[in-house]
Structure 1
Amino acid sequence: MGIGEIFIILIPIFFVIILGYLAGYLNVFDKNSSKGINTLVTKFALPAHLFVGVTTTPRDVLLAQWPFMIALVLGIFVFYFIIFLVTKFGFKFNLSNAAMFSLNSAQPTFAFMGIPVLGSLFGSEAVAVPIAVTGIVVNALLDPTATIMGTIAQREKAENESMAKVVAKTFAHGLREPLALVPLIAVILTLLGFHAPGLLSDSFNEIGDVTSGVALFAVGVTVGIRKVSFNIPAFSIAFLKTIVQPTLMFLIAWAMGMSAENTTMLVLLVAFPGSAVAAMIAVRFESMEAEAGSAFVLSALISVLTLPFLISLLM
């Protein structure tokens, strides 16, 4: 694919992000209203879109996604633990800082940029299942693990509960998140032979079809309302997120013998900017808050250059 074709695809996407950025920067939206947009995307629009995408996918096609999920676990979850071990024992970060640094280095904003970017390249129907699988890995595995690490670091706040109970509650909460629960239910139903009828698909699509534009606008607003600190930890997170993780994912896909199309999807899914959700988890634990927020903005800026480069390289 030529550079001109790539920019024709990406310019409308970044236009909506810039529009959202201006809305946030000019205080048309504040943190509370920004949270409302994010809630619309992550709890309603995107889960509805993914439910339709998965339940209209043939069972055999879904079963063929297991290597894709394994690659995501390696490229996101195992990558998280590698960064965690390096920062905890190599750079002597405390437990909470290591967990939050690693989370923001590993979690992509797939929920907001997956449909518009990958959908433009492959078609929205073709990418629904890969994005749903990513949602399960991130929301049912990665986020709960980082939350448990943060909870252990604040152990004195959970003295009345056993650690086993804390772990169970945290993973249960992760599975209750719509971005994990809805795709998981859709996967189970599809494996049992369910195929969404037209009326059900049309009903879910009424809310699901707003995902692309609203999600991009939400990314822009989130960037626009944040202040950027140009410090080494923030740059390090952004570098790991936009350069190191996509490179690692490419090597994983190559070693697993993935198809060219799946390799491109895998690499781009982790090449998206860092996640605002990961930054919010850092705020929750009062650990690396400024660095995580700044890294989110920096990774978004870097991705303006890296995404066109990766697309031209892989397609």
Structure 2
Amino acid sequence: MNIGNIFLTLIPIFFTIIIGYLGGYFKVFNSESSKGLNTLVTKFALPAHLFIGITTTSKQTLINQWSFFLTMTIGVIGFYIILLIVARLVFKFDLTKASMFSLNATQPAFAFMGISVLGSLFGAQEIAIPIAITGIVVNALLDPLATIVGTVGQSGLGKSKDEKTNILGIVLHGLSEPLACIPLLAVVLTLLGFQAPDIIKNALDQIGSVTSGVALFAVGVTVGIRKISLRPIAFGISILKVVAIPLYMILVAHLIGLDHADTIKAILLVSFPGSAVAAMISTRFDSLSTETASSFVISTILSLITLPIYISLLM
């Protein structure tokens, strides 16, 4: 794909983000309405879209995706663990701070940009399963793991309440998120031979079809309402997010032996800007909250440069 075609593909995507940004910047949307847009995408529209994409896929096609699941697990969880160790031992961060730093440098905004960017490159049907797998890895594995480590860190610093860390509860909470449980349910049903009939497909498409535009608009709104802090940690998180983890994913995909198309999907899925969800987790722990919110904005701006480069090199 040449540079001209890449920009023709990305211009509508970033135009929608810019419109959302203006809505946030000029206070048409505030933090509460921004959360509402994020909730619409992550808890309703995208899960519905993924459920249909998976349950209209053949059982054998799904089975063939085991290597993609392994790649995303090693790529995402492995990168988080590597950064956690480096942040703890080299930069001497406390455990909670190290966990929040590593989470925000790892977790991509796949739920918001994946449908539009990958869909325009491969087609909506082709990218439903890769995005669903990423959702399971992030929401059922990464977020609970980072939350557990962060809670253990606060416990060690004496900042937690007088109760033991409920690891099982945290994991179950991660699994209860629609972006984890709905794709997981769809995978199980498909492996059992279920194929969604047209009536279910048409019903869920009513909400699922709004995913792409609303998700991109929500990214812009979130960027528009946040103030940017240009601290080194914020830039560090952003560079790791849009440069380091895509390079790491190239190595993982090569070692696993993914085919070319799946390798491109895996790399692009982790090369998207940082996640607003990860920034919210940092705020909940009151650890690096300003830096992680700023890194979400900075990494979104940097992705205007990095995404076209990755696509031109990979496609």
- TM-score using structure 1 length: 0.98
Cα deviation for residue 303 of structure 1 reads: 0.4
Corresponding residue number in structure 2 for 1:244: 244
Cα deviation for residue 158 of structure 1 reads: 5.2
Over the matched positions of the two proteins, sequence identity in percent amounts to 58
Map 1:108-123 onto structure 2 (within 5 A). 108-123=108-123
Corresponding residue number in structure 2 for 1:206: 206
Cα deviation for residue 251 of structure 1 reads: 1.5
Map 1:286-305 onto structure 2 (within 5 A). 286-305=286-305
Deviations 1:161-180 (A, max 9, x none): 433xx100000000000000
Deviations 1:180-225 (A, max 9, x none): 0000000000000000001001101100000000000000000011
Q: Give SS of 1:154's match.
A: helix
Corresponding residue number in structure 2 for 1:142: 142
The answer to whether the aligner puts 1:223 opposite 2:223 as a matched pair is yes
Cα deviation for residue 291 of structure 1 reads: 0.6
Map 1:99-114 onto structure 2 (within 5 A). 99-114=99-114
Corresponding residue number in structure 1 for 2:3: 3
Partners of 1:65 and 1:309 lie apart in 2 by 27
Letter paired with 2:69: M
The answer to whether the aligner puts 1:270 opposite 2:270 as a matched pair is yes
Cα deviation for residue 9 of structure 1 reads: 0.4
Cα deviation for residue 255 of structure 1 reads: 2.1
RMSD: 0.9
| Structure 1, 146-155 or 229-238: larger mean CA deviation | 146-155
Partners of 2:309 and 2:280 lie apart in 1 by 29
Partners of 1:304 and 1:157 lie apart in 2 by 39
Question: How many residues align structurally?
Answer: 313
Q: Give SS of 1:227's match.
A: coil
Letter paired with 1:136: I
The answer to whether the aligner puts 1:98 opposite 2:73 as a matched pair is no
Partners of 1:145 and 1:32 lie apart in 2 by 27
Partners of 1:222 and 1:75 lie apart in 2 by 27
* Structure 1 unmatched runs, 5+: none
- TM-score using structure 2 length: 0.98
Cα deviation for residue 257 of structure 1 reads: 2.0
Cα deviation for residue 159 of structure 1 reads: 5.3
